[in-house]
Copies of this chain bind each other. A is one copy, B any other.
Amino acid sequence: MQAGILRGERRALARAITLVESGRADHRGDAIALLQGLKDADHGREALRIGLSGTPGVGKSTFIEAFGMMLTGRGLKVAVLAVDPSSARSGGSILGDKTRMERLARDPRAFIRPSPSQSHLGGVARRTREAIELCEAADFDVILIETVGVGQSETVVAELSDLFVLLLAPAGGDELQGVKRGIMEMADIILINKADGDLKATATRTCADYAGALRLLRKRPQDPEGFPKALTVSAIEEAGLAQAWDEMQALAEWRRETGHWAARRAHQARYWFEAEVREALLSTLKREPVKGAMARLAGAVEAGDLTAAAAAEELLTTYLQRPPQSGTGGT
């Protein structure tokens, strides 16, 4: 599989992503070996990872399709992944239906992969992160990581990407408040979509509003002069896409030269390693015999026979190999 991925074969890539998404322990061992093998192959390939968030109705699919087609038209290989913690619950993922991006899905230079169907955001994040590594090894130039604008998923996507792009709809000044400050502060580029037809004037005004709001934010070390930046685009008319791409490249270039790019990737690598360890440790609690012991002790705590402290101590010392807390007794 490794050789196929390095040759950029879509089938090998798709199979590898299925492997990292698998919940089976033996698959997990294979996945870890595959990822490390690709790293050891030292392919030196580095895609531009673009995180993309936008509220429903902003025209995200239309934008990704138009933007992706423009990139493949320039000879670039484009992968589209998704972080969607809601997909398992709702039964349908945001990218489950490739018909949303019919033209791009048929493009031989594009690769679209729906969000793995897991309700747990941590699990979705890990699978997506590993899919990114696979796409990069398969020599993709641009990786778009899409998310629905809910809860913590933007934070996850920002920790997975080199650039974070916020896609917004034209709106009155009031709705500017609706974008949470924390999300605004993560954005590198804000794109106001639907700058066409009747909405063109509103889009221009909204863009100016956000440009003003961005200027009020504290200057971040990872930004050159003029960033973060707000621009208008029209996915339907395919307008402004080239300029948006120019800005992304300019920002990426500056960060590469100044070392911010490498620093961000190093920080992200540490972040995900630590998250992986924490998750793996906590998953111990969901396996037997710990799971059963925990249920039994929880029952005793509920019934009022044991304090939470004593029950936790018993679980930890008996089932999780921790030495008991010494103490002479509290009487």
Using a CB–CB distance below 8 Å, which chain A residues touch chain B? Answer: 1-3, 16, 19, 25-37, 39, 129-130, 133, 266-267, 269-270, 272-274, 276-278, 280-282, 284-285, 294, 297-298, 301-313, 315-316, 320-322, 324-331
Q: Among B133, B311, B330, point to the contact of A33 (Cβ < 8 A).
A: B330
B280 touches A285 (CB 8 A): no
Contact A307 B32 (CB under 8 A): yes
Distance of A168 Cα from B36 Cα, bound (Å): 56
* CA gap between A298 and B274 in the complex, in Å: 8
Q: Is the CB of A282 within 8 A of B274?
A: no
B32 lies within 8 A of A306 (CB): no
- Output the nearest chain B residue to A41 by Cβ-Cβ distance: B331
Copies in the complex: 2
Whether A326 pairs with B281 at a CB distance below 8 angstroms is: no
CB-defined contacts of A284 to chain B, threshold 8 Å: 281, 322
Is A325 within 8 A of B285, CB to CB? no
Taken together as a complex, chains A and B put the C-alpha atoms of A50 and B179 apart, in Å, by: 36
Please pick, from B16, B26, B39, the residue contacting A304 in the complex, using a CB distance under 8 A: B39
CB distance from A164 to the nearest CB of B (A): 20
Contacts A330-B19, A331-B37 given: A269-B310 contact, CB under 8 Å?
A: no
A274 cross-chain contacts in B, Cβ below 8 A: 294, 298
User: Given A281-B282, A307-B133, are A301 and B269 also a contact pair (CB < 8 Å)?
Assistant: yes
The reply to whether A312 and B33 form a contact with Cβ atoms under 8 Å apart is no
Q: Do B325 and A25 have beta carbons less than 8 Å apart? A: yes
**Which residues of chain B are near A298, meaning CB under 8 Å?**
270, 273-274
Set of chain B residues within 8 Å of A280, measured between Cβ atoms = 312, 316, 322
CB-CB < 8 A to A316: which residues of B?
A: 277, 280-281
User: Is A29 in contact with B285, judged by CB distance below 8 angstroms?
Assistant: no
> Which 7 A-B pairs have CB atoms at the shortest separation, nearest pair first?
A29-B327, A34-B330, A29-B325, A276-B312, A273-B308, A266-B302, A30-B327
